[in-house]
Amino acid sequence: MSEKMIQIAEKADMIVDGYAFTGYESGCRVIDLNDPVNAMVISGDDEVIETTMDDIEISIVLDLYKRNKVFMGS
């Protein structure tokens, strides 16, 4: 894993299945630590604002987020 990915992982609020979830004032940012080209921004209403992921990955990541966001402290 590159130094940049290590820094992202260390700053993440949670990591689930290789995705780093980092909360911000109005939602969450997600990056795939195994393929950092794949990223997503989720609103506070759990809606996708912006993404580079395909439809299947979006579905998987949103499910991971919804099931685990309680552990982010938000």
Residue 28 · residue 69 · CB < 8 Å: yes
- What is the per-residue pLDDT across 58-68, written as a single tens digit (0 to 9) for each? 999 999 999 99
pTM for this model (two decimals): 0.92
Structure confidence at residue 47 as a pLDDT band (50, 70, 90): very high
Write the DSSP string, 30-74. Answer: EEETTSTT-EEEEETTS-EEEE-S-HHHHHHHHHHHHHHGGGGT-
Q: Where are the domains of the chain?
A: 3-69
Instruction: Give the pLDDT confidence of 14-44 residue by residue, as tens digits.
Output: 999 999 999 999 899 999 999 999 999 999 9
Q: How many CB atoms are located within 10 Å of the residue 53 CB?
A: 20
CA dist 2 and 58 (Å) reads 24
What confidence tier does 73 reach under pLDDT thresholds 50, 70, 90?
low
